[in-house]
Structure 1
Amino acid sequence: MGLSFDCASKIEIQKILELGVDPSRIIYANTNKPLSFIKYAADNGVSMMTFDCEDGLIKIKKVYPDAKLVLRISPQSNYKVKLDLGKKFGCHPLKASKLLEMAMNLKLNVIGVSFHVGHGCLETGAFAAAIEQSRKVFDIGLAMGFDMHLLDIGGGFPGEIIQNVETNITFEEIAEVANKALDDFFPEKDVRIIAEPGQYYVSSAFTVAVNIITKKIFTDKDTLSPDGDFLDKPTVQNEPTRMYYVNDGIYGCFLLCLTDPGCFVPSHFKDSDEELHNSTIWGPTCDSLDLVIENVKLPELTTGDWIFFKDMGAYSFTTASSFNSMPKVKEYFICEKNYGICSALNYLPIDLASNENVDLNRSVRLKYHT
């Protein structure tokens, strides 16, 4: 497929090299690198890496002066993204000339520019703006005498359409805008364009199934009469909320819910014509921040029922911890008969997966999601 690899750490580089991947197909794209990690890259011929500050250049000069460097910028625009990575990574485009000048004085080799518009891009114009700003930095490098021949347009590409955000842009829509901007600002045929579409590739490959371990009916103050008595027949506006506590949460596969509430949409095995109720899904830990989603409409569920979440391939089980000594999820490979290969990976919290009383046949239905 012609794919290469974006690595963020020594361990990731090591894993990719152990697969037999040539070092030239790896970019060490974490701008914040310990000296020992840079030395490991040098010892193994992983020469392409990013930087965004003076300290980064000094460290690279010290242990890997022959590295092929890519200057990461922080695109400046008002386009909406769910998580702005520019707060942590990248230099302001106006500071790029000083960093390039420092690289020149250190006799380092800068070969290109990179950016990342942010996680969960909500407006396609973010890519056009970032590509235009990259062109300006690119030209500064060329004017200084660097052999600039690479542009990394980063990630931010969606996988499956997310159901509960204000803008549901698709990969195809982003590609249309990005390709036009590349034609306008990087028409040269000798400039290599790379990207980081990890979320696009892996999102739909994974499904998480969670089990309801506790159910509670929550009645807030709006369901009380003026005299302080509970209303026997609450209206739709003050219907009690069904609180479902499940065996995975933000310390497991749902970390993104901290910064992007409601980003994972629950599905269930009930009939589609059942009455829906105000519901909230909580994780299993003792932390009140352990909230998966609130104010979602679900049918009447009970303890022991299963809820599942599609499109969980990105930023899920890889971020799981054992907070409160909660067990991590157990992974199951699901093989589709019509493909004859393992085409999907679904996983369940490990404690319930080993419970003899759990009807795992219900979770097998998830195998049709590939």
Structure 2
Amino acid sequence: MDLDGLDSQKQSEIDDATQVIKSPIDVPSILMEITKNEEQDDPFYVCDISDIIKRYEEWKAAMPRVATYYAVKCNDSRIVLEVLAALGIGFDCASKEEIRKVLSLGVQPDRIIFANPTKKISHLKFAAETAVTLMTFDSEVELQKIKKVYPSARLVIRIKYDDLSARYVLGQKYGCDHVIEAPGLLRVAASLGLNVVGVCFHIGSDSKDPLVFSKAIAAARHVFDVAANLGFKFKLLDIGGGYPGDKKKSIKEIGNIVNSALEKYFPDLSVEVISEPGRYYVNTAFTLATSINSVREAVQTDPETKDQTKVRMYYVDNSIYGALISIFCDEVYTPRPLEVDTTSPLRPSIVWGSTCDTCDKITKDVVLLPEMNISEWIFFEEAGAYTLSISCEFNGFATPKIHSVVDEEGWLKLTSQVPYPLSRDKFVIGNKPEYFRIGLTGPNKFKTNYF
């Protein structure tokens, strides 16, 4: 088939389609196939949809009582939202635009929690217009706003309970003290005639201490009891986010702690329990590939010892302002050569980003890498969380394109077995062209077996 003859709309459909691969997903092999095209020199992601499905199933097995509301801010790419919507999970939205994006997928408003304790008036009005009723608060000012704009909303009081070892501690910005402040806020809500239905907390993004979940659930129990004395009938507990997003950590440990705490403090199964995972679902599904556009040999002098080291500098086609922006928040990404020459000695190396900013340094310290050259590729695993959603195009470098793949089993689930099946038109399979573009000016042949 001549792709050059396709109209732009049809070409866009092929570009955005997810490839169905019969064999097990081997991301490095997929990266190699894509980079074989001589015209491919822009950075890109490979998103393994099968990994997202696997994470969903592992969660259900570990915490069957806890429904998930995906934190859209973590990665708001359309393919991710479509897959999670198909699986039937809910969504944690923080703004009008995030709500709009989720609703555009056909998701019903009762599958959304407006989980921003400080909402703009116009965003509250939009929630009211679109029947998104469930939302959080942690202050009297927020209660007054809701009373004025959306008095029929169902409210969830956010309490503060931090894991101080988490990568991002949130309690200094959001959440009320569950002993000192929560009772007063509930009394204000009662005086305003507002409908408070439950409690939420977030122990911190990328939490390190799972036991904090148990302590936070106990604190939520206290607020439930206070609310009952004030005449409220709480039926919702939101245990927030903070779940691991790397391959080496299992959700099982947190699951055991959460399950035990729920059994102890919330044995009444009529209480609905939800959560707001973000990086858990998407981080390991995304791999970033970027080419080397320049190489330089340099001598570095240690400021203390004055020792000199010859270092090989690699300049790649992405940056800490783009797909690797989480480096600003102390995230560490390990560069891996796509094609490894086992005979090449390891050299002290530094990987620099594509912008002209001297802060644009991808490897914080000198690392050992085999000797590589211009136009060779390196890749970074576990690049799905807080990358796409917060990157920018500083210095004019575009956001990498996403190339999504799924195995046969995942494809069957998404198109026939999930609560909200996806259309088969969203996939490149046997009855579709085997030639398609990957953000290129010409066709690219992807040789992995289809069925």
1:267 and 2:336 aligned: yes
Q: 1: CA distance between counterparts of 2:408 and 2:233?
A: 51
Q: Give the deviation of 1:109 after TM superposition.
A: 1.0
- Alignment equivalent of 1:133, drawn from 219, 226, 245: 219
1:243 and 2:280 aligned: no
1:202 and 2:253 aligned: no
1:70 and 2:141 aligned: no
1:280-303 deviations in whole A, cap 9, x for unaligned?
Answer: 222111223322222333222222
1:328-352 deviations in whole A, cap 9, x for unaligned?
Answer: 21232346578668899xxxxxxx9
1:329 and 2:409 aligned: no
Structure 2 SS opposite 1:113? strand
Equivalent residues, number: 337
1:190-221 deviations in whole A, cap 9, x for unaligned?
Answer: 11110112322222322110111222334222
Q: 1: CA distance between counterparts of 2:123 and 2:305?
A: 64
Q: 2: CA distance between counterparts of 1:88 and 1:224?
A: 39
Distance 1:221 1:267, change over 3 A: closer
Distance 1:211 1:97, change over 3 A: same
Q: 2: CA distance between counterparts of 1:131 and 1:24?
A: 24
Contact 1:72 1:115 in 2 (8 A): yes
- Alignment equivalent of 2:389, drawn from 318, 326, 336: 318
Contact 2:301 2:309 in 1 (8 A): no
Q: 2: CA distance between counterparts of 1:272 and 1:169?
A: 30
Contact 2:95 2:114 in 1 (8 A): yes
- Alignment equivalent of 1:294, drawn from 361, 364, 388: 364
- Identify the residue that residue 173 of structure 1 maps to in structure 2: 253
| Structure 1 letter corresponding to 2:285 | A
Q: 2: CA distance between counterparts of 1:210 and 1:76?
A: 37
Contact 1:73 1:113 in 2 (8 A): yes
Distance 1:222 1:251, change over 3 A: closer
Q: 2: CA distance between counterparts of 1:332 and 1:64?
A: 41
- Identify the residue that residue 60 of structure 1 maps to in structure 2: 146
Structure 2 SS opposite 1:318? coil
Q: 1: CA distance between counterparts of 2:193 and 2:303?
A: 71
Structure 2 SS opposite 1:11? helix
| Structure 1 letter corresponding to 2:154 | K
* Aligned-residue identity in percent: 40
Q: 1: CA distance between counterparts of 2:299 and 2:265?
A: 58
Q: 2: CA distance between counterparts of 1:16 and 1:225?
A: 56
Aligned pairs for 1:81-96 (under 5 A) are 81-93=166-178, 94-96=180-182
1:219 and 2:299 aligned: yes
Contact 1:248 1:283 in 2 (8 A): yes
- Alignment equivalent of 2:135, drawn from 21, 39, 49: 49
Aligned pairs for 1:111-126 (under 5 A) are 111-126=197-212
Distance 1:18 1:353, change over 3 A: closer
* CA RMSD between the two structures: 2.9
Q: 1: CA distance between counterparts of 2:246 and 2:161?
A: 25
1:21 and 2:107 aligned: yes
Q: Give the deviation of 1:76 after TM superposition.
A: 4.1
Q: 2: CA distance between counterparts of 1:274 and 1:98?
A: 67
Q: Give the deviation of 1:84 after TM superposition.
A: 0.9
Contact 2:291 2:316 in 1 (8 A): yes
Contact 1:31 1:89 in 2 (8 A): yes
Q: 1: CA distance between counterparts of 2:302 and 2:441?
A: 40
Distance 1:211 1:184, change over 3 A: same
- Identify the residue that residue 257 of structure 1 maps to in structure 2: 327
Q: Which runs of 5+ in 2 are unaligned?
A: 1-86, 413-425, 429-437
Distance 1:310 1:113, change over 3 A: same
| Structure 1 letter corresponding to 2:222 | K
Q: 1: CA distance between counterparts of 2:223 and 2:212?
A: 17
Larger RCO (CA under 8 A, 6+ residues apart): 2
Contact 1:51 1:57 in 2 (8 A): yes
- Alignment equivalent of 1:305, drawn from 344, 357, 376: 376
Distance 1:39 1:338, change over 3 A: closer
Q: 2: CA distance between counterparts of 1:151 and 1:88?
A: 21
Structure 1 segments of 4+ aligned residues over 4 angstroms from their partners: 223-226, 335-344, 352-356
1:226-271 deviations in whole A, cap 9, x for unaligned?
Answer: 8xxxx8xxxxxx6433322211112111111111241x22221214
Contact 1:261 1:293 in 2 (8 A): no
Structure 1 SS opposite 2:167? strand
Distance 1:65 1:170, change over 3 A: same
Q: Give the deviation of 1:307 after TM superposition.
A: 0.8
1:160 and 2:246 aligned: yes
Structure 2 SS opposite 1:332? strand
TM-score (norm. length: structure 1): 0.82
Q: Give the deviation of 1:322 after TM superposition.
A: 1.4
- Identify the residue that residue 164 of structure 1 maps to in structure 2: none
Distance 1:145 1:223, change over 3 A: closer
- Identify the residue that residue 348 of structure 1 maps to in structure 2: none
Q: Which runs of 5+ in 1 are unaligned?
A: 162-167, 232-237, 345-351
